[in-house]
Amino acid sequence: MGEYAVEMLHITKRFPGIVANDDITLQLKKGEIHALLGENGAGKSTLMSVLFGLYQAEEGEIHKDGKKVEIKNPNDANALGIGMVHQHFKLVECFSVLDNIILGAEPVQGGFLKKDDARKKVMELSNRYHLQIDPDAKVENITVGMQQRTEILKMLYRDNEILIFDEPTAVLTVQEIEELMQIMKGLAKEGKSILFISHKLNEIMEVSDRCTVLRKGKYVGTVETKDTTPEKLSAMMVGRNVSFKVEKKPAEPGDVVLDVKDMTVAGQNKKDAVQDVSFQVRKGEIVCITGIDGNGQTELVYGLSGLEPLKSGSIHMNGKDITKVSVRERSTSGMSHIPEDRHKHGLVLDYSLEDNLVLQRYFEPQFTSKAGLMKRKEIREYSDSLIEEYDIRSGQGSSTIVRSMSGGNQQKAIIAREIDKNPDLLIAVQPTRGVDIGAIESIHRQLIEQRDAGKAVLLVSLELDEVMDVPDRILVMYEGRLVGEFKPDEVTVEELGLYMTGAKKQEV
C-alpha cells in the first residue's frame, strides 16, 4: 500500500487527573481499514478527537502524506480531507437531513444557496453507497440508524479522504451493520483510508486490515488482523482472558411482576407505534424483546417507563395498576430503567458523577436532611462505593463532570445506579451498547445475578449474540406487534430473522 496517509507520532493528551493518551503512535496506510481497539476509557475517542482537531495534544505531532500538519480545529481537519462520525452524533435536531449534511459546506452562487445542486450530490452519494435517507425528514424524527447514515453522508459530501468512524455500529441493526461493513470495504477499495473504533471483535475481524490496541491510555501493539484471533485481541485489550460464553443455570420463574395488557402507544405519524401488545415478565426470569430497530421497541419502553402515555391498555406491576402514574412513582415502586439513549434520558451531562448516581434517590433520607439540605458527605461515600464496585473510570472520581467521561463509562454509571436501587423490575434497553468486551461480560453477569436474586428483567436488544445468550424467553416485535415467542435453545438466528423482517408470524 506504500506510504502512510496519516501518522500520529508520540501523541500525549492530558486531562485533569488523567493521561488519556500516553505517548501513542498510530500509522494509517493509504486505502486500508485500520481498527482501533481498547476498553472504555482506553483513550480511543480522545486520540481520534486529536486527529480531528477537537483536542490539542500536549506532545507529539501529526503527519499527513509524509508532511507535518497542524490541526487546530475540525475545519483544519476537513481542509486536509479528514472527516469523523462521532459516537454521539453531531446533528442539529430541528434541521432536515439534507440541511445537516451540507451545513458549513453549502454550495453558494452569487450569494444564493444552490440547494438543488446539493440535493443532487447527496442523493447520488446516497444511492452509490446504499445509504438510504429521507433528505427532507427532520433529524429529531428519524431513527438512530438514519442519523448514522446522515453523519456518513456528511463526510462523503465533503470529499474526505480519511474517514474516522467512532463506534459506528453501536446504534445499528444487524442488517445495517452488514451494509456498513460492505460500504466501508467499498470506500477502502476506492482509495479512502478508514480508522474504525470498535469494541466488537467479530466486526474488527471481518472488516479491518490491521488493528491497533490501546489499554489505559497506552499503546499495546498493532497486529495484522488476518494473523490474529478474537481471543488474542481481547487479551491484549483487557490484559486477561475473557469468556465469550454466558454462564447461567436454568431459570426458575416465580410470580408475575410486570403484566402488560392490550398496550397501544401512538407513533410519530398516523400509525400507532405499539399496537395491542400483551406480555408478562415474572420473578426470576429474563425476557428479551428484539426486532429490527424502529418497530416499536422504543415506544414500548417509553410507555412502560412513563415517558409516553398509553393510548389504550394497562400496565400492572406487582398487581398494582401503574398505567397512569408518574415516572418517579414507577421508580420508587420498584422499576429501574437503563435507557436506550444515555444522553437524552440517562444522565445530566453537566452534573458531577456523584450527582448522577443519586439522580433518582437524592430525596431519600439517606441523602437529604429533613431541612431539605443534601448530605454531600453521604452522597460522596455512596458514589465512591459504586465507582469501586462497578469499575467506573473517571479522571476525578466522584467529582468528574459526566460529559467528560467515555461513553462506556457513562453507561456503567447508569447501570450501577439502576441496579443498586434493588428493583423488582429492571428494564434494560441496549445495556451493552458502546461498551467493551470486558464490560459486556460484566453487564451480562449482573443481569443474570438480578434474575437469580428473584428480580424480573426485561431486556430490549438488537444484538443477536446477546438475544441468543442472555434471556430465558425471546419476544420478537415487528411493526408494533409481537409476532413470535421463543426459548433461545429452541430457535436459530436465521429463524429469528424471518420473524424480525415480517416473513413469518405466530399468534402471541
Contacts of residue 76, defined as CB under 8 A and 6 or more positions apart, other chains included, come to 53, 69, 70
Which class for 215: exposed (0-12), middle (13-18), buried (19 or more C-beta within 10 A)?
middle
**Residue 404 one-letter amino acid:** S
**pLDDT > 90: what percent of the chain?**
60
pLDDT score for 353: 96
Sign of CA dihedral 437, 441, 443, 444: positive
Q: Is the pLDDT of residue 41 over 80?
A: no
Paired sense of beta strands 473-478 and 285-290, if any: parallel
Q: Is the pLDDT of residue 1 over 50?
A: no
Q: Is the pLDDT of residue 215 over 80?
A: yes
Q: Is the pLDDT of residue 27 over 60?
A: yes
Q: Is the pLDDT of residue 287 over 80?
A: yes
| Cβ neighbours around 325 below 10 Å, total | 17
pLDDT score for 2: 47
**Residue 12 one-letter amino acid:** T
DSSP 218-260: EEEEEEEGGG--HHHHHHHHHSS----SPP-PPP---SEEEEE
Rounded to whole angstroms, the Cα distance separating 366 from 363 reads 8
Rounded to whole angstroms, the Cα distance separating 130 from 127 reads 5
Continuous segment of H or E residues that includes residue 383: helix 376-390
Q: Are 63 and 261 in contact (CB under 8 A)?
A: no
Continuous segment of H or E residues that includes residue 425: strand 425-429
Continuous segment of H or E residues that includes residue 266: none
DSSP 448-465: HHHHHTT-EEEEE---HH
- Domain spans of the chain, in order of start: 4-238, 256-500
pLDDT score for 16: 81
Rounded to whole angstroms, the Cα distance separating 374 from 377 reads 9
Overall average pLDDT of the 80-106 stretch: 88
Given pLDDT bands bounded at 50, 70 and 90, which one contains residue 502?
confident
Task: Enter the CATH code of domain 256-500.
Answer: 3.40.50.300
Q: Is the pLDDT of residue 263 over 60?
A: yes
* Angle, vertex CA 341, rays to CA 338 and CA 342, nearest 5: 65
Q: Are 154 and 160 in contact (CB under 8 A)?
A: no
Window from 93-107, 149-163, 278-292, 429-443 with minimum mean pLDDT: 429-443
DSSP 352-379: BHHHHHTTTTTTSTTTB-TTS-B-HHHH
Over the stretch 227-239, which tens digit does the pLDDT of each residue have? Answer: 999 888 888 887 7
Contacts of residue 442, defined as CB under 8 A and 6 or more positions apart, other chains included, come to 391
The alpha carbon of 149 is separated from its chain's Cα centroid by a whole number of angstroms, namely 15
Q: Which residue has the cell 439502576?
A: 418
Over the stretch 346-405, which tens digit does the pLDDT of each residue have? Answer: 999 999 999 999 999 999 999 999 999 999 999 999 999 999 999 898 888 999 999 988
Given pLDDT bands bounded at 50, 70 and 90, which one contains residue 171?
low
Rounded to whole angstroms, the Cα distance separating 502 from 226 reads 37
Secondary-structure class of domain 4-238 per CATH = alpha beta
Higher confidence at residue 88 or residue 189?
A: 189
pLDDT score for 167: 82
**Closest by CA position to 427, among listed 334, 355, 495, 490:** 334
Window from 22-26, 53-57, 148-152, 282-286 with minimum mean pLDDT: 148-152
What mean pLDDT value characterizes the chain? 90
Higher confidence at residue 293 or residue 387?
A: 387
Overall average pLDDT of the 403-428 stretch: 93
For residue 276 the three cell numbers come to 395491542
Window from 76-85, 136-145, 241-250, 489-498 with minimum mean pLDDT: 241-250
Assessment of whether the complete model's pTM goes beyond 0.85: no
